[in-house]
């Protein structure tokens, strides 16, 4: 969800105002995803590298996340959206961890859609943690190293039950993966738009889906539709 800071700078506003406007784009995209029947939506909200940003911006982002959950908890539950989080959750402020846990528990009882928020997340770290877990099992004799395959690695990632993404949308014209779901995005279609995240709403989301529907997905073989 790129471009919050640049969106604010263009308007002579503090960076946090861009993040606040970006929160409204989250609501818009959630509505559009439900309308389109998208069952899984993952938002890269805060990376492991983002901790080096100015302290006031980091604190503002954490507060904004808490406010968003307080304000829209009812909307999330009413629309049967299950919240899940991936990343180093233990690094988040304790009060935010509690709010996340509470909403995840509530929303898991009756849901049709899943919203995954990547918080303090880095894909290289996720893969390294999976490798360590596999190594520990091999060292203890629980796992034969010769049986380790792609499925073994996938089952040791943060959310092994979630299907791999089919489409990655990158806003603000960025042309890189930025340490996001490097394993899971192996066969995903990439869609890049110059629109900043605070301006990315239902119309832009549907444009991305339409572009995706025009792609021929080969997976190394012949074209499929």
Asked if 50 is an active-site residue, the reply is yes
Dihedral sign computed on CA atoms, order 17, 19, 24, 28 = positive
Determine the Cα–Cα distance for residues 172 and 194; give it in Å rounded to an integer: 4
Q: Are 162 and 114 in contact (CB under 8 A)?
A: yes
3-state secondary structure at position 223: coil
Determine the Cα–Cα distance for residues 34 and 40; give it in Å rounded to an integer: 9
Strands (E), the chain: 40-47, 81-86, 113-121, 167-170, 189-192
Residue 224 per-residue DSSP state: B
Beta bridge partners of 224: 217
Catalytic residue among 50, 63, 79, 179: 50
Which one, of 109, 61, 118, 50, lies nearest residue 84 by Cα? 118
For 1-31, the DSSP string reads: ---HHHHHHHTT--HHHHHHHHHHHHHHHHH
Determine the Cα–Cα distance for residues 8 and 217; give it in Å rounded to an integer: 37
Residues involved in catalysis: 2, 50
């Amino acid at each position: 969800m790129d471009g919050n800071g640049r969106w604010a700078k263009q308007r002579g506003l503090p960076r946090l105002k861009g993040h606040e406007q970006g929160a409204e784009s989250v609501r818009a995209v959630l509505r559009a995803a439900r309308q389109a029947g998208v069952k899984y939506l993952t938002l890269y909200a805060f990376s492991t590298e983002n901790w080096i940003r100015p302290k006031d911006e980091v604190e503002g982002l954490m507060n904004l996340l808490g406010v968003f959950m307080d304000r829209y908890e009812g909307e999330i539950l009413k629309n049967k959206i299950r919240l899940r989080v991936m990343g180093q959750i233990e690094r988040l402020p304790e009060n935010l961890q509690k709010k996340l846990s509470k909403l995840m528990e509530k929303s898991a009882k009756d849901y049709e859609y899943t919203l995954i928020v990547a918080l303090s997340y880095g894909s290289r770290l996720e893969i390294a943690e999976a490798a360590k877990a596999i190594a520990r099992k091999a060292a203890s004799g629980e796992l034969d190293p010769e049986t380790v395959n792609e499925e073994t690695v996938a089952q040791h990632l943060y959310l092994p039950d979630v299907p791999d993404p089919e489409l990655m949308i990158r806003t603000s014209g960025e042309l890189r993966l930025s340490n996001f779901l490097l394993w899971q995005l192996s066969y995903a279609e990439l869609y890049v738009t110059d629109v900043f995240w605070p301006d990315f709403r239902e119309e832009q989301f549907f444009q991305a889906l339409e572009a995706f529907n025009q792609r021929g997905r080969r997976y190394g073989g012949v074209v499929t539709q």
